[in-house]
A and B are shown apart, each in its own frame.
Chain A
Amino acid sequence: MPVKLEIRSFPVAGNRGLYLWTFAALVVTGLASVPLAAQPAPPAPPSRFVVVLDAAHGGDDNGGRLANNQLEKSFTLALSVRLRSLLAARGIQVVTTRESDMTVEPDKRAEIANRADAQACLSLHATASGSGVYLFASSLAPAAPARFAAWKTAQAAWVTRSLKLEGVLNSALLQAGMSVTMSRTSVTAMDSMTCPAVAVEIAPEQKSGEETTGGLNDKDYQARVAAALAAALLEWRTDAGRTEGQQP
């Protein structure tokens, strides 16, 4: 049976424009809600990507004594400044726990990191023993995120993400031709951070059976480490763009 479509004219001519505009708005809204499956858009970086750089030690706390009587606190600060510049040049917002030779308590470092609401937190260390770069995630057992977390074990809810960040850093450093060792440890400030956190400890670059190819004083070695870390964080930003909203 044929259906008879009856179009009535509106009694008031002024309302016709209003109905037309409403119809157009509905059409536009409907089109916007249709997913564009034919052309997948590249993952956009998260709207706000912040990296916290924690230069370990400082002030009264010298840290370890490196080659040529260089102090760990000076090395970590120099690396932090270098890395901050590299990241800033790539449009990444950086928060540092210290910008000079000053004492910052571990709890204060964690507080700075937590207030920054960062997507990555790197604690920078250096040592005269061992070789290559050591990456450490927290040794806390992974835990489900809770509304209120214990201060000393706040990192537990982020350990899984921290291990992923550790993997990304490992890949970038290996690509840069460095020797990398991954492990887990308990560092006071890091265990209180509510962000994907990794401690990076840089040792002299030595290869077995060969002479030292890069000491901690070697500017080229420092630059390569910083560049590899910056590349890893760029990769991490891309990953964060893909998985935004899944934290922790």
Chain B
Amino acid sequence: MIPRHQTILFALLLVASLAMGAALWHLRERAHQRLLAGQDSAPTSAPAVAPADQAVLLVANDGDGSILTQLHSLPLPADPGARARAVLGKLLDLYAAPDAAHPVPGGASSVLQVFLLPAPEIAGAVPAAAKPTIADSRVVVNLSRDSRANTPVSSPQDAQQSGPLLAVVNLTSSFAANHPSGIETEMLTVLSICGTLHANLPRVTQVRFLVDGQQRATLAGHADLTRTYLAGNVVPSDRAHP
């Protein structure tokens, strides 16, 4: 004979199990609906309908290792992230052209996304002494990086509104795989991307790179993609010696 209190306990446990199963099923359905709703509401404003605007592109040249400023009229979206992607798309289209001075296959479709995030604080920015002091006129670009770029920001909301931004550029793996290999050519690509972002979105002071959403050691065997690059230090050749 089963005692009465054990029967009651068993019944309570059974009811609780059924209730938890129902709650889980309900939560699963809600998550599924939220996922579907998120896919429907993805903002995809076509750049073609945006008004034309002046974009500053820092275009690399393999011939003399320089980076020159070019102005292009482009339909640029108002959203900063989409704007950054459109500008980089145009830059990579120039590199994919048959007569490009810095030939890199891929074109605009090589930029999957550009995420803009509040930039981590950099205590003690790179001093001016870090810039090359050699008189050779071909030394025109400088690249500095900060090793403490993973410091959390104090107020993300404030930084998002007016503070410096970190741009995370997500490239396709095919772009990295087809990129010509070499320190100079890879650094020119990285520098021109960093400089172009800063020229069009001055609040972008730091740039990081992803390839297919993952961190990658190098672009094509040389340029380090695990670092945070300081975009403001890229000086185009035509402005290096005023």
Contacts and interface: CB of A to CB of B under 8 A. Distances in A.
Interface of A: 57, 61, 63-65, 72, 125-131, 134, 136, 139-142, 150, 152-153, 163, 167, 170, 181-188, 191, 199, 201, 203, 208
A136 B183 contact: yes
| Chain B interface, >50% SS class | loop
B63 A131 contact: yes
B182 A203 contact: yes
B133 to A, nearest CB: 8
A141 B132 CA distance: 10
Given A183-B65, A185-B183, A186-B223, A141 B143 contact: no
A186 B145 contact: yes
B224 A186 contact: yes
A182 B136 contact: yes
A129 B184 contact: yes
A203 B130 contact: no
Given A187-B222, A188-B217, A182 B139 contact: yes
B144 A141 contact: yes
B182 A128 contact: yes
Given A184-B132, A185-B223, A199 B183 contact: yes
B144 A203 contact: no
Contact of B180 (A127, A141, A181, A201): A127
Given A64-B220, A141-B126, A187-B222, A201 B143 contact: no
Contacts of B144: 139-141
B134 interface: yes
B182 A129 contact: yes
5 contacts: A140-B144, A141-B130, A183-B132, A183-B187, A186-B143
A139 B202 CA distance: 22
A129 B141 contact: no
A199 to B, nearest CB: 6
